[in-house]
Amino acid sequence: MKRVFAILTAIALSPAMSLAEGHDLFSNKFFSTITSEEMMEGKTGHIHHATNDSLWDWTDAPDGWPKANSAKCHLSNVLSDEKKPLFGVWFCESIDPDGDVSLWSGSWNVAKKISTGHLVGGTGKYANAGPRKCNLKTLVRISDTQKLHECVAIK
């Protein structure tokens, strides 16, 4: 099950992709660590749910944004009867170092290897961000529960 989650994490988590008011998209890297997961078995498919703690590297963020942020993320993923990832949804909740709150949401498609996300709502600097897209790839598989990913902006 942790192998399935590793694949899903690489595809699904791109909430650190964002738009600062008046600025372009910026690419980022993020590190995730699984904190819990469960599998619900069906006859023709399965639902995999997981949570993780993520650290977002926003080194290229615009002025006024933190250069790093952390989040608690939740994923619900549909798997085939052979437990191959098909599609899923995610959301992440975060309070940044400045005390600004944000809630991110998105969906992913394994065939397209892209994830879309948007800021559901937030305070402070997150009040005016909108939908974003990025291409994801896993840079380093540290273990079955820890990965380093990259999210490259699609403009």
* Beta-carbon contacts of residue 42 (< 8 Å; ≥ 6 apart): 81
**Domain architecture of the chain: domains with CATH:** 2-153 (2.40.350)
The per-residue pLDDT for range 69-109, each reduced to its tens digit, is 999 999 999 999 999 999 999 899 999 999 999 898 888 88
Q: Which of 68, 115, 114, 109 is nearest to 91 (CA)?
A: 115
Rounded to whole angstroms, the Cα distance separating 59 from 79 reads 34
Does 114 score more than 50 pLDDT?
A: yes
- Looking at residue 70, what is its pLDDT? 94
Strand partners, 109: 87, 114
Half-sphere exposure of 148 (CA within 13 A, CB side): 5
- Looking at residue 35, what is its pLDDT? 95
- Looking at residue 92, what is its pLDDT? 92
How high does pLDDT run on average in the chain?
Answer: 79
- Looking at residue 59, what is its pLDDT? 81
Rounded to whole angstroms, the Cα distance separating 107 from 105 reads 7
The per-residue pLDDT for range 14-37, each reduced to its tens digit, is 444 444 444 445 677 888 899 999
- Looking at residue 143, what is its pLDDT? 87
Report the predicted TM-score, pTM, of the whole model to 2 decimal places: 0.78
The per-residue pLDDT for range 46-63, each reduced to its tens digit, is 999 999 999 988 888 777
